[in-house]
Structure 1
Amino acid sequence: MNSLTKMALGLIGQLKPLPALEGASTLLHLPAPSLSGGMPLIAALASRQSRREFAPEPLAEQQLSDLLWAAAGINRHELGGRTVPSAMNSQEVLLYVAMPQGLFLYEPLPHHLRLIVASDVRRVTGQQDFVDTAPLDLVFVADHSRLGLVPAAQREAYAYVMAGAMAQNVYLYCASEGLATVIRAWFDRDALSQAMGLQADHQLLLSQTVGGMKAESSA
């Protein structure tokens, strides 16, 4: 579905999720993240870029595990510390994963994905056509109820800082792993909020598409 069609459907309130693949589990247990190997940091920074073409095949289970850990995983278990900074350790940004099997919430402590909506909401995560068929779309959502000690006027800024750090971690992991990714802020917020069943104190921040590199066609 192209961008114009999506915008037209959004205007009439008809930009809707698709049915999820049958037989999706309510919990997807991930293997432990791999904490060794990978590209040196400077090389990953040199390779970091946005790509907007994706192979449709799903990520390997280990890649999915490592990707989510890089974005928001726990790296200091004695403190519950994460791979990204958060004001007063509020951990106010929730990481959702939209896949053909449904919409999942990443829960860092058990390091698993919990099914939230049994629908394929990928098409609603952005106006771009590639989000419909890329293997997964990440959605960063601020839970402002976790920022009770922060003045209300500053909460959005705090959440965007955390989401930006999470997105950059995803970029660096993808550069190291040879995956494609692009961060996005162009989506129908009303349609996506409804599709995700978000609460009143939840705010959509950003989306990020991830997938394998699309093979170049040979002449």
Structure 2
Amino acid sequence: MTDALLLSYEALPDIRPSAVSGEAVEIIELPAPDVEAGAPLMTALSRRRSQRTFEDEALSPEVLGGLLWAANGINRPETGGRTAPSAHGSNEIDVYAALPGGVYRYDPEGHLLTLKHAVDARNLTGYQDFVGTAPLDLVYVAQMSRLLQIPPKLREACAAVAAGCISQNVSLYCASAGLATVVRGWINHRVLADALRLNEDEVPILAQTIGKRTIG
């Protein structure tokens, strides 16, 4: 990741990823999404909001599978089309899941999570206290090498728009499923890139925290 693509924030003092909870499995196979589930679109839109308090209870495999498919899964198997748009079908955004058991990258083709780094990096996905205790933090990472067909001046904007579409998909899924979520841009890009084991052309753009709503 190049310094030109980094935002200037103060470094997180002495912060490091934590040890994983339990065994960091190499692959997490996800249940197929139930495309008939959830609230109607207009109801979900009426419920969409940012929330910053979360229960620490883990999300079920069914919820995790539906959530990631909604984010940027394949909804047209015959063409490989995704639930979120991207310029020229570049699919430049990879979705990473920071879980208590490790950092995983979502594989839309296989609808599964593959282990990238066996650490609990939730506390590195932002500056707010709640990011380290919520059950899931998603990180949207732009792989800039997939945008070479786009004029250089437009590449960052295209990646940002694609990440925004994915985060809105997640927000609407959460509103429909009764989950709490908030999208966050205040992140230490260098620290997070190291924790996710990203390459030089991979840039974390946004993070999004998800969990069950706190009652009361």
Whole-Å separation in 2 of the counterparts to 1:121 and 1:152: 31
Query: How many residues were matched structurally?
Result: 208
Whole-Å separation in 2 of the counterparts to 1:147 and 1:210: 29
Structure 2 contact 71–83 (Cα < 8 Å) conserved: yes
Paired AA for residue 10 in structure 1: L
Structure 2 contact 11–188 (Cα < 8 Å) conserved: no
Residue in 2 aligned with 1:201?
A: 201
1:34 aligns with 2:34: yes
**Structure 1 segment 1-219 matched on structure 2, within 5 A:** 10-11=12-13, 14-216=14-216
Structure 2 contact 45–172 (Cα < 8 Å) conserved: yes
Cα deviation 1:48-99 (Å, max 9, x = unaligned): 0000000000111100000000000000000000001111111000000000
After TM superposition, the score normalised by the length of structure 1 is 0.92
The 3 A distance-change label for structure 1 pair 148 and 175 is same
Whole-Å separation in 2 of the counterparts to 1:176 and 1:195: 31
Paired AA for residue 34 in structure 1: D
* Gap runs ≥5 in structure 1: 1-6
Whole-Å separation in 2 of the counterparts to 1:59 and 1:95: 17
Whole-Å separation in 1 of the counterparts to 2:11 and 2:92: 31
Give the secondary-structure state (helix, strand or coil) at the position aligned to 2:12.
Answer: helix
Instruction: Give the aligned CA root-mean-square deviation in angstroms.
Output: 1.2
Cα deviation 1:190-212 (Å, max 9, x = unaligned): 11111111111111100000000
Select between 33-42 and 49-58 the one with higher mean Cα deviation.
33-42
Structure 2 contact 96–104 (Cα < 8 Å) conserved: yes
Whole-Å separation in 2 of the counterparts to 1:152 and 1:15: 34
Give the secondary-structure state (helix, strand or coil) at the position aligned to 1:55.
Answer: coil
User: Where do 4+ consecutive residues of structure 1 move more than 6 Å?
Assistant: none
* Gap runs ≥5 in structure 2: 1-8
Q: CA deviation at 1:156?
A: 0.6
Whole-Å separation in 1 of the counterparts to 2:11 and 2:151: 37
Q: CA deviation at 1:8?
A: 7.7
Q: CA deviation at 1:9?
A: 6.4
Residue in 1 aligned with 2:5?
A: none
Q: Percent identity?
A: 47
Whole-Å separation in 1 of the counterparts to 2:189 and 2:23: 29
Paired AA for residue 54 in structure 1: F
